[in-house]
Amino acid sequence: MLKKLVFLGMGGTIAGTAQSMADNVGYKAAQKGVEQLLEAIPTLRAALGDLQPKTEQVAQVDSKDMGWSHWRALAFRAQQYLESSDVAALVITHGTDTLEETAFFLSQVLAPALIARKPVVLTCAMRPASSMSPDGPQNVLDAVAVARSDRAAGVLVVCAGAVHAARAVQKVHPYRLNAFDSGDGGPLGFVEEGVVRWRHSAADGYSPAQAFSLEHLSDDQWPRVEIVMNFAGASGAVVRALVATPAQGDPPVRGIVVAGTGNGSIHEDLEAALRDAQHIGVRIVRATRCPQGAVVPGSAPLELPHSDGLSPVKARIALMLDLMQ
């Protein structure tokens, strides 16, 4: 039986179009369907080898507008495909702006036993499909090479020839084609002429989530978890406003991630407000706004727990999932 490589479309710049071929910035994201994107790649057939392509448009969104309903739909569709015996792997086309969040979310909710055998590879583009020189087609081909690699596992991100783990990857540049970085550890590997050169085993970047059943994903909305940042002159005013009675229709704040300075340090007034919030039941997590490294806990017990190396946006996802369990 021929196995399938399933392409799930989520939108993004990779599916974007502009009025002019020369315009790589003034475009509208999420205009072309995933099927159209694949049709525009003449060498895709050869890259797929003995895999049969199957496409599904799960969402068509500029990823800045990614929301709970998109993630929920994607997680359920992805899991359904992974459970099917004729599916070998998934490739997801997605906008770059919140790609790291979707990748981390999927890495936490998809069944660990399935993604250990069937990789889920997210890819993207920094230039729209209408560009004179789009980067999307090569990124898709590279994602296919990774999806076919025997050594691929877990949820991976492929962009500009580099392979990143969902936990480590971060968008670090608003314009250049290699916009992603994996911080201290570097990428897991590189794709060169259709061949993946692994620097680390994909399993190194893949820490199976605790068993999280998709049934725990709430139907309507995620628990509200906000992110606040420490900076020179920060105060507790934002936190006090967040935990005050919510405006009609707004859900109450259940958690706050603080993007601390340096090793997770927090202005004393902000810290006092966070402690007060914690005392009334709001979950607080301390991360760092530094783009690399992790908060290193000292020997003294921390009143505000740290994010275990997760960036603020990923710590927010981890906390939301924890609150849903």
Q: Which residues are catalytic?
A: 13
58 lies in the binding site for ligand SIN (CB under 6 A): no
Q: Which stretch binds ligand SIN (CB under 6 A): 93-101, 139-147, 186-194, 235-243?
A: 93-101
Nearer to ligand SIN, 71 or 206 (CB): 71
CB of 124 to ligand SIN, least distance (A): 6
Site map for ligand SIN, 115-154, x if CB under 6 A? ---------x-x----------------------------
Residues 6+ positions from 67 with CB-CB distance below 8 Å: none
Closest CA to 214 of 325, 92, 62, 60: 325
- Backbone phi and psi for residue 191, each to the nearest 5 degrees, phi listed first: -110, 120
12 lies in the binding site for ligand SIN (CB under 6 A): yes
Total of residues contacting ligand SIN (CB under 6 A): 12
CB of 291 to ligand SIN, least distance (A): 18
Instruction: Name which of residues 264 to 323 contact ligand SIN (CB under 6 A).
Output: none
**220 conformational bin, left if phi > 0, alpha if psi -120 to 50, beta if neither:** alpha
102 lies in the binding site for ligand SIN (CB under 6 A): no
29 lies in the binding site for ligand SIN (CB under 6 A): yes
Q: Binding ligand SIN by CB under 6 A: which of 13, 107, 108, 130?
A: 13
- Backbone phi and psi for residue 69, each to the nearest 5 degrees, phi listed first: -65, -35
Q: Binding ligand SIN by CB under 6 A: which of 24, 31, 55, 63?
A: 63
Burial class from Cβ neighbours inside 10 Å (0-12, 13-18, 19+) for residue 228 reads: buried
Q: Binding ligand SIN by CB under 6 A: which of 4, 89, 95, 138?
A: 95
Q: Which stretch binds ligand SIN (CB under 6 A): 7-15, 82-90, 151-159, 278-286?
A: 7-15
103 lies in the binding site for ligand SIN (CB under 6 A): no
CB of 296 to ligand SIN, least distance (A): 32
Closest CA to 96 of 1, 220, 6, 12: 12
CB of 125 to ligand SIN, least distance (A): 7
Nearer to ligand SIN, 12 or 189 (CB): 12
Displacement of CA 140 from its chain's centroid (Å): 17
Contact 165, 216 (CB under 8 A): no
Both structure tokens of 282 = 């709001």
CB of 161 to ligand SIN, least distance (A): 17
CB of 171 to ligand SIN, least distance (A): 8
SS (H, E, C) 177-203: CCCEECHHHCCCEEEECCEEEECCCHH
Contact 118, 148 (CB under 8 A): no
Helix orientation angle between 312-324 and 99-109, rounded to the nearest 10 degrees: 30
Q: Which stretch binds ligand SIN (CB under 6 A): 10-18, 37-45, 100-108, 197-205?
A: 10-18
Measured distance CA(92)–CA(95) in Å, rounded: 10
Q: Which residue is nearest to ligand SIN (CB)?
A: 95
Closest CA to 94 of 45, 153, 166: 166
Interacting residue ranges for ligand SIN, rule: CB under 6 A = 11-13, 29, 62-64, 95-97, 124, 126
